[in-house]
Amino acid sequence: MNYKVLIPQDIAQEGKDFLLEKGYEVKVGSGTDEATVISEGKDADAVLLRTSVVDRKILESLPNVKIVARHGVGFDNVDIQAAADLGIWVTNTPLSNAKTVAETTFALILTAAKNIIDVSQKMREGDFFYKNQHKGMDLEGKKLGILGFGRIGKMVAKQADAFDMEVLVYDPFVSSSVEGFPNIKIVDREELFKQADIVTLHLPSTDETKNSIGEKEFSLMKESAYFINLARGEIVNEPELISALKNKQIRGAVLDVFSQEPLPMDHPLFDLENVILTPHIASNTEECMARMALHAAMEIDRVLSGEKPSWPVNSPQR
């Protein structure tokens, strides 16, 4: 029997080649809307999913599907409970992107700290000496606040050590010490926002974290501090962040994720000079995309071969 795998949004060739070599029929979808996914997945045995939404209605309309394999770490676009109720595994690829996202985090921290985009643009406009009144800042001795200390947070902490930064960590699941990280300081959430010169988010989007950062947190931050979000847009109250940026409550922000993606061109964030915006690029490297595609494909092969997946995020009921 040839199992069929639906891929609503195309992936790196490495993932498709793995499935084809294993004898699977691969269908790259033509759209991510509900009707198209249901139509093209009606006889699929697995779905390899990027960013499109798979809710209960879609899952109930795909009677043969045994696994939804997420291409990435987040799984907030899948109805996890519905999948469990229907006996469908949901997996992710937790080993695929941590180093990549950590690298991007520090690239953007440095871009903000050194004022690179601003002075580069002014130079293009002919103002070579704009730099004299718009200096950057050193990272050495500064406090980096990491909110969330999973794989990515740990990688960011390691990189911060190379810049001789003091690392503050808040994570409700982390104790007063972490093996392998003798130089970090575990603090409470309020203290992190108060002390940090740079706050970077590395949290999943859950019912508890959605809209959990807003006016209160920005009011605690130093006026000289930067706010960095490469996690999920819905964790942050965007109107309250915009207000904090407009009122210069904080020095600036770097945002790679948004409550609505793509970000509408009339969005007020585009009007702010003290914010750097990037189009969800934290894991967007050739190497990382290949790992995500391959790891998701490997999970599909495990499940359709009768094995348990290596990286499940739910427990199917049947």
Give the three-class secondary structure for 56. Answer: helix
Distance, in Å, from the CA atom of 51 to the CA atom of 78, rounded to the nearest integer, reads 9
Q: Which residues of 177-210 are buried (b: 16+ CB within 10 A; e: fewer)?
A: eeeebeebbbbebeebbbbbbbbbbbbebeeebb
Tokens 């409970």 belong to 81
215 is catalytic: no
Among residues 302, 300, 290, 304, which one has the least CA distance to residue 95?
A: 290
Decide: 314 and 90 in contact? Cβ < 8 Å.
yes
* Distance, CA of 143 to chain centre: 22
21, 60, 190, 261: the active-site residue: 261
261 is catalytic: yes
Distance, in Å, from the CA atom of 165 to the CA atom of 146, rounded to the nearest integer, reads 12
Beta-bridge partner residues of 213: 236
Distance, in Å, from the CA atom of 164 to the CA atom of 180, rounded to the nearest integer, reads 17
124 is catalytic: no
232, 251, 291, 302: the active-site residue: 232
- CB contact set of 25 (below 8 Å; sequence gap of 6+): 2, 3, 4, 5
For residue 72, which amino acid is it? G
Burial of 308: CB neighbours in 10 Å, binned 0-12, 13-18, 19+: exposed
**Which residues are identified as catalytic?**
232, 261, 280
